[in-house]
């Protein structure tokens, strides 16, 4: 892969803070599309609004940077109008699960042939660190100054329940696994959802005793638990650490899909 | 060859859309527009097009915009509550210069209001509803024939100016059944592709850039953020923002004479009724049947951009009477363009004005 094949050199430097994991996740995604030999001229990236969604603007393909929460609805139009295009979506936890929650579950239900990469940093990064639907109970944000009091969404489980054909979760620490998951997602017809636990040192870490960039990465490294192990523990009735990040493939199936060329 | 038919206004609009080349419909059911979605659901698969019922109106217009960026002609249909939900993404369509058509079959509002009753309550919503400054193209059919003809025209204007075009119909015109002549073929504007070597958002003298459809190697970045001619965000650059918004507004506003479409009756009259949509039917009947001095009629088929020059078609006019199924939405715009008295005749609740009601207003105005 050459840098110029997939990235717009004339858009750099990017807007992301140092230590932000969005760049890593973008990199893994572009490695995956390149490994699969996707044609940049026939590939479209769609994003909503947020630091994560800004990724689409750095990719050197056709790209649609839309409105907050609506990326999947726009992507649905692109894909249905021309099913021969490869359509990938970058989104954030707020974009996807709060304002865009309805489009998320319906896109999974339709099982439309999109690959969705969600950079889940547990916070609204772009607007300065407000709580999101994935902010863990107790975590501090500018709108949960006494600790988040609402339960958090499990995005991967939500996608499985709503009908997506491929669902995986990794973290920005697991770059090889993430690349493989995105590849598998692109190769699986239907909706593929890859949740990536991402670090936002500026607006999440700073308020939650993860001041150094490496603190967050260390959590990804030490608290991640493979889905297979998690399932074994649950089946055996053994306790699962409450802060475990369950990673791996959640589902890969071949249910009927929408938006593939006849 | 022209074919005679008898059909409902909403169905005629759907047929006009297909004749104009529309091959994508994304929508959400809402009275009194639903027959358009239902007709498109039946027809599009048979002409190689795509119909999808989305989860709401926000998603509907988003899907329409996405489809349009592949180069396809796309539309949705709705009524007031749905139109309100679409507004943010309609602003996105204006900002990104995405051609598309929205048919709004207006019903009584605010809120859920009168789902089955006619209204013209969205005429200002379509003009001013988006945040930021925009120009609007809006057409107002007054018959089943015009539901067909003006839907075709809306598609052509959307392509010509690269922006959303609205067919602002009302429940009466949407649901009435009338004779219609379906032309064997219609004039259809093709999407003009981006010229080689030109930046994707750099416009020529007509202020409308060519369209870089997705999937053709343009590798274009499309964003609702303020962008430069490359399409790249330039959100803190005053000059770029001002130039962009001014161009988006001017490309439509400076063509108001080209876009204008209206009918004039009795240009020498002293009193002129200005009308559009279903109320125009009463006005035309009144003008045809009234005893005494003739009353002037100015009927708009295009309401936005407001064809202000049309008021000048009546050199002897002493007053303009404006019957609308709202509390005077277009009347206010007319006031901005004339020093003569403007007399709104609001009608709420869903019924049309009767010819008698309008005749009394004409008499009153003449007595003043
Ligand atoms: C309709 C609308 N509401 C609110 C906003 C403000 N806004 C911009 S980004 C954002 C949150 C983004 O959070 P997330 O999707 O988690 O992305 P991140 O920035 O963390 O990557 C919000 C609320 C907006 N742009 N549009
Ligand atoms: S605010 Fe957070 S998510 Fe946004 S760029 Fe900075 S570190 Fe990344």
The residues that bridge with A86 in the sheet, in sequence order, are A43
Specify the DSSP element, H or E, that contains B271.
strand B271-275
- What residues are paired with B25 via a beta bridge? B51, B75
Q: How many CB atoms lie within 10 A of CB A228?
A: 11
User: What proportion of chain A, given as a percentage, has pLDDT over 90?
Assistant: 97
- Domain annotation for chain B: domains and CATH numbers: 1-259 (3.40.50.970), 264-367 (3.40.50.920)
Domains of chain A: 28-252 (3.40.50.970)
Q: Is the pLDDT of residue A3 over 90?
A: no
| Residue of A46, A64, A261 to mutate for B, most B C-beta atoms under 10 A | A64
- Averaged over B346-350, what is the pLDDT? 98
The pTM of this model reads 0.98
Q: What is the pLDDT of residue A262?
A: 83
Pick from A40, A64, A70: CB nearest B222: A64
Phi and psi at residue A200, in whole multiples of 5°? -130, 85
Q: What is the pLDDT of residues A15-66, one digit of tens each?
A: 999 999 999 999 999 999 999 999 999 999 999 999 999 999 999 999 999 9
Mean pLDDT of chain B: 98
Residue B33 has pLDDT above 70, yes or no: yes
Residue A146 has pLDDT above 80, yes or no: yes
Q: With bands split at pLDDT 50, 70 and 90, how would you rate the model's confidence at B1? A: confident
Residues with CB under 6 A from ligand 1: A 49-52, 68, 92-95, 119, 121, 123-127, 132
Tens of pLDDT, residue by residue over A80-99, are 999 999 999 999 999 999 99
> Considering chain A, what is the average pLDDT of its residues?
97
* Centroid of ligand 2 to alpha carbon of A126 (angstroms): 6
Gap from CA of B217 to ligand 1 centroid (Å): 30
Q: Most A CBs within 10 Å: which of B201, B221, B224, B234, as the mutation test of the A interface?
A: B221
B90 neighbors B96 (Cβ within 8 angstroms): no
Question: Which of B5-14, B63-72, B289-298, B300-309 has the weakest average pLDDT?
Answer: B289-298
- Cα–Cα distance measured from residue B11 to residue B37, given in angstroms and rounded to the nearest whole number: 9
User: Residues B316-342: what's their mean pLDDT?
Assistant: 98
Q: Which of residues 14-53 of A touch B (CB under 8 A)?
A: 40-42, 44, 46
CA distance B296 to B86: 37
How far apart are the CA of A50 and the centre of ligand 1, in A? Answer: 5
Cβ neighbours of B41 in A, within 8 Å: none
Residue B98: strand, helix, or coil: coil
CB-CB neighbours of B311 under 10 Å: 18
| 8 A C-beta contact, residue A227 and residue A248 | yes
Which residue has a Cα nearest atom 11 of ligand 1? A124
Q: Which of A150, A142, A153 is nearest to A206 (CA)?
A: A142
Please write the tens of the pLDDT for every residue from A198-209: 999 999 999 999
Position A1 scores a pLDDT of 64
Q: Higher pLDDT residue, A190 or B291? A: A190
Q: Which atom of ligand 1 is nearest to the CA of A126?
A: 19
Residue having the nearest C-alpha atom to atom 22 of ligand 1: A127
Average pLDDT over residues B147-167: 98
Give me the residue from A57, A81, A102 closest to B66, CB to CB.
A81
Q: Is the peptide bond before A262 cis (omega within 30 degrees of 0)?
A: no
């Amino acid at each position: 892969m050459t840098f110029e094949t997939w990235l717009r050199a004339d858009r750099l430097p990017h807007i992301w803070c140092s230590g932000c994991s969005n760049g890593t996740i973008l990199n893994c995604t572009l490695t995956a599309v390149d490994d699969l030999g996707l044609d940049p001229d026939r590939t479209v990236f769609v994003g909503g609004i947020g630091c994560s969604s800004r990724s689409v603007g750095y990719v050197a393909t056709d790209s649609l940077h839309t409105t907050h929460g609506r990326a999947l609805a726009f992507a649905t139009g692109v894909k249905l109008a021309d099913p021969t295009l490869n359509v990938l979506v970058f989104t954030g936890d707020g974009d996807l699960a709060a304002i865009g929650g309805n489009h998320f579950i319906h896109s999974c239900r339709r099982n439309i042939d999109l690959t969705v990469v969600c950079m889940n940093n547990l916070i609204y990064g772009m607007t300065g660190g407000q709580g999101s639907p994935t902010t863990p109970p107790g975590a501090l944000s500018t709108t949960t100054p006494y600790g988040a009091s609402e339960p958090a969404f499990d995005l991967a489980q939500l996608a499985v329940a709503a009908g997506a054909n491929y669902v995986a979760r990794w973290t920005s620490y697991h770059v090889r696994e993430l690349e493989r998951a995105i590849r598998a997602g692109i190769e699986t017809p239907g909706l593929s959802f890859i949740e990536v636990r991402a670090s936002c040192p500026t607006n999440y870490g700073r308020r939650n005793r993860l001041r150094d960039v490496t603190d967050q990465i260390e959590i990804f490294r030490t608290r991640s638990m493979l889905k297979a192990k998690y399932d074994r523990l649950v089946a055996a009735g053994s306790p699962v650490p409450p802060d475990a990040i369950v990673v791996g493939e959640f589902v890969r199936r071949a249910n009927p899909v929408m938006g593939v060329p006849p | 060859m022209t074919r005679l038919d008898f059909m409902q206004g909403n169905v005629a609009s759907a047929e006009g859309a297909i004749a104009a080349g529309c091959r994508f419909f994304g929508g959400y059911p809402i009275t009194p527009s639903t027959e358009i979605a239902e007709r498109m659901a039946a027809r599009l698969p048979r002409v190689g097009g795509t119909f999808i019922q989305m989860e709401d109106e926000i998603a509907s217009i988003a899907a329409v915009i996405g489809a349009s960026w592949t180069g396809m002609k796309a539309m949705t249909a709705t009524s007031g509550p749905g139109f309100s939900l679409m507004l943010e993404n309609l602003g996105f369509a204006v900002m990104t210069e995405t051609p598309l058509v929205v048919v709004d079959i207006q019903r009584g509002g605010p809120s859920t209001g009168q789902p089955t009753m006619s209204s013209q309550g969205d005429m200002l919503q379509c003009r001013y509803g988006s945040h930021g400054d925009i120009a609007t193209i809006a057409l107002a059919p007054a018959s089943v024939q015009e539901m067909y003809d003006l839907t075709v025209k809306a598609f052509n204007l959307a392509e010509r100016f690269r922006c959303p075009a609205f067919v602002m119909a009302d429940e009466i015109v949407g649901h009435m059944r009338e004779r219609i002549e379906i032309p064997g073929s219609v004039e259809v504007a093709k999407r003009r592709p981006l010229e080689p070597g030109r930046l994707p958002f750099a416009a020529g003298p007509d202020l409308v850039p060519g369209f870089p459809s997705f999937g053709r190697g343009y590798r274009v970045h499309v964003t609702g953020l303020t962008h430069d001619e490359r399409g790249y965000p330039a959100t803190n650059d005053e000059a770029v923002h001002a130039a962009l918004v001014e161009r988006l507004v001017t490309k439509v506003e400076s063509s108001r004479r080209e876009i204008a479409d209206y009918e004039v009756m009795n240009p020498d009259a002293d009193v002129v009724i200005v009308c559009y949509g279903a109320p125009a039917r009463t006005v035309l009947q009144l003008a045809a049947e009234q005893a005494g001095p003739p009353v002037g009629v100015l009927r708009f088929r295009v309401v936005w951009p407001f064809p202000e020059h049309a008021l000048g078609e009546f050199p002897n006019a002493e007053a303009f009477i404006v019957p609308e199924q709202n509390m005077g939405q277009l009347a206010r715009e007319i006031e901005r363009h004339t020093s003569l008295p403007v007399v709104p005749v609001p009608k709420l609740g869903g019924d049309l004005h009767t010819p008698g009601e309008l005749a009394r207003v004409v008499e009153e105005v003449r007595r003043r």
